[in-house]
Amino acid sequence: MENYFEVEGLTVGYDKKPLIRDITFGIDKGSILTLIGPNGSGKSTILKTITGQLAPLGGRVAVEGDDVFFWTAKQFAQRFAVVLTERIKPELVTCAEIVAMGRYPYTDLFGRLTDEDKAAVANALRMVHAMDLANRDFSTLSDGQRQRILLARAICQDPEIIVLDEPTAYLDIRHKIELLDILRRMAREKQVTVIMSLHEIDLAMKISDNIICVKGESIKAFGTPQEIIDTCSIEELYEIKNGSYDTLFGSVELVKASGEPKIFIVAGGGYGIPFYRELQKRQIPFATGVLFSNDVDCQVARTLSDNVIVSPCFEPAGEEVYKKALDMMLKCSAVLDAGTPCGSFNEMNGRLLEAARDSGIPVLTSLDKGGIIEKEVQ
């Protein structure tokens, strides 16, 4: 057994019906593992099985070589803590009391808190920056605050492994970042192993040491974020048919407009992106060029248009590319100058605009409202 946390041939499912078979992976102590995959793929089922809430249908889960399915409920509670997706609504309970519930496996028959327990509660609250919420009624909190309190409860349980099922659901972007930052600190400073499911693939790539892609009968891929980017297509994992997902930057582009390009955008250096997105919203197909292959405009343009004129980077664009762009441009009924400056590498962009003016194609500098473009491209 080389890994701290090992899953071997685990089969999970409800009511003896296997949902996902033969899950096998291992991770180190103090690392962060994230499960990604479409809704209903069984991420929660895997997490529930790992924490012993759901009986496994085969295989084993071991912590330091110790099979967890033989543990008592108390042993489980002292090593695993969970943050669940279900919304709880206890009444007349303060946040400190909720957090103190985390001490459950350690307190006496009546749940009395020792000074040590109280210190643990205070520490957990401090860790999630929620000390000021300690004496507030839990039911008066916002979703973000609740999630922080529930995380504090889990921290207070002093676990070796913390399991979170979609902890960022309901949270706005600031609270997402804060929550993940807390998890990262826990993992690094306290050597707590974090296993969670996330919907935000971009965040998953950035926070995780390891990622599992869950889909269908088995897990699709397991590896570091870089390995996942290299081997696993997000579009395929989530069955995205029309839109696209840029794994490297974690940005989403919506469905591209189909058909012959109506407008040619002379762009580059990021000047084109706002126009591409605006045209996507208006569902007007466009062509664009000349873009170098390492240009951000190129990244986005490729997901939003089938007609992108690309030139290899780090050298001036050649005549051949210019020719291709010119042909494309002459088929369009309008040209848009995105405002990219012309330098020695992309001097043909200037020539394209000149050629457009010479051949009487209207050259725009902005996409005015009021449907001018639509009229222009009729």
Partner 1 sequence: MPKDIKKIDNSPDEITVGNTGRFLLITILLTAALLIGLIANVNIGSVNIDRGKVAVLVWQGVKYWTLNLCTRGSYAQELSDVINSSVESRILFSIRLPRMLLAVLLGGALSISGYLLQVFFRNPIAGPFELGISSGAKMVVGITLIFIAKRVGNLSPLALILASFLGSILITCIVLLFSQKVSNMAMLLVIGIMVGYVCSAVTDFCITFADDHDIVNLTNWSMGSFSGSSWEHVATASVICLLGLISACLLSKPIGAYALGENYAKSMGINVKLFRLLLILLSSVLSACVTAFAGPISFIGIAVPHITRTLMKTSKPIFIIPTVFLCGAAFCVFCDLLARTLLAPSELKIGTITAVFGAPVVIYMMVKRNQLKEV
Shortest spacing between CB 89 and partner 1, in angstroms: 7
Site for partner 1 in 146-185 (CB under 8 A): 157
Indicate the residue among 74 and 188 with the shorter CB distance to partner 1: 74
Q: Which of 34, 49, 51, 311 binds partner 1 (CB under 8 A)?
A: 51
- What CA–CA distance (Å, rounded) separates 220 from 23? 10
Site for partner 1 in 89-108 (CB under 8 A): 89-94, 96-98, 100-102, 104-105, 107
Q: Which of 27, 46, 82, 155 binds partner 1 (CB under 8 A)?
A: 82
Shortest spacing between CB 82 and partner 1, in angstroms: 4
Which of these ranges, 23-31, 132-140, 206-214, 342-350, lies near partner 1 under the rule CB under 8 A?
132-140
316 forms part of the interface with partner 1 (CB under 8 A): no
- What CA–CA distance (Å, rounded) separates 7 from 25? 5
Q: Which of 4, 5, 80, 245 binds partner 1 (CB under 8 A)?
A: 80
- What CA–CA distance (Å, rounded) separates 156 from 117? 8
Starting at the edge strand that comes first in sequence, how are the strands of the sheet with 210-215 ordered?
A: 80-83, 161-165, 193-197, 32-36, 210-215, 218-223
- What CA–CA distance (Å, rounded) separates 272 from 189? 44
Token code pair at residue 347: 């001097």
121 forms part of the interface with partner 1 (CB under 8 A): yes
> Sign (positive/negative) of CA torsion 99, 102, 108, 114?
negative
70 forms part of the interface with partner 1 (CB under 8 A): no
Contact 338, 269 (CB under 8 A): no
Count the Cβ atoms, other than its own, within 10 Å of residue 365. Answer: 9
Q: Which of 10, 57, 68, 125 binds partner 1 (CB under 8 A)?
A: 125
β-strand partners of 82: 163
Q: Which of 74, 188, 323, 331 binds partner 1 (CB under 8 A)?
A: 74
Q: In which element (H, E) is residue 296 found?
A: helix 296-304
Amino acid identity, residue 315? E
Which of these ranges, 17-25, 32-40, 48-56, 298-306, lies near partner 1 under the rule CB under 8 A?
48-56
Amino acid identity, residue 198? L
Shortest spacing between CB 259 and partner 1, in angstroms: 47
Indicate the residue among 98 and 301 with the shorter CB distance to partner 1: 98
Q: Decide: residue 98, CB within 10 A, 0-12 exposed, 13-18 middle, 19+ buried.
A: buried
Residues at the interface with partner 1 (CB under 8 A): 51-53, 72-74, 76-78, 80-82, 84, 86, 88-94, 96-98, 100-102, 104-105, 107, 109-111, 113, 118, 121-122, 125, 131-132, 134-135, 157
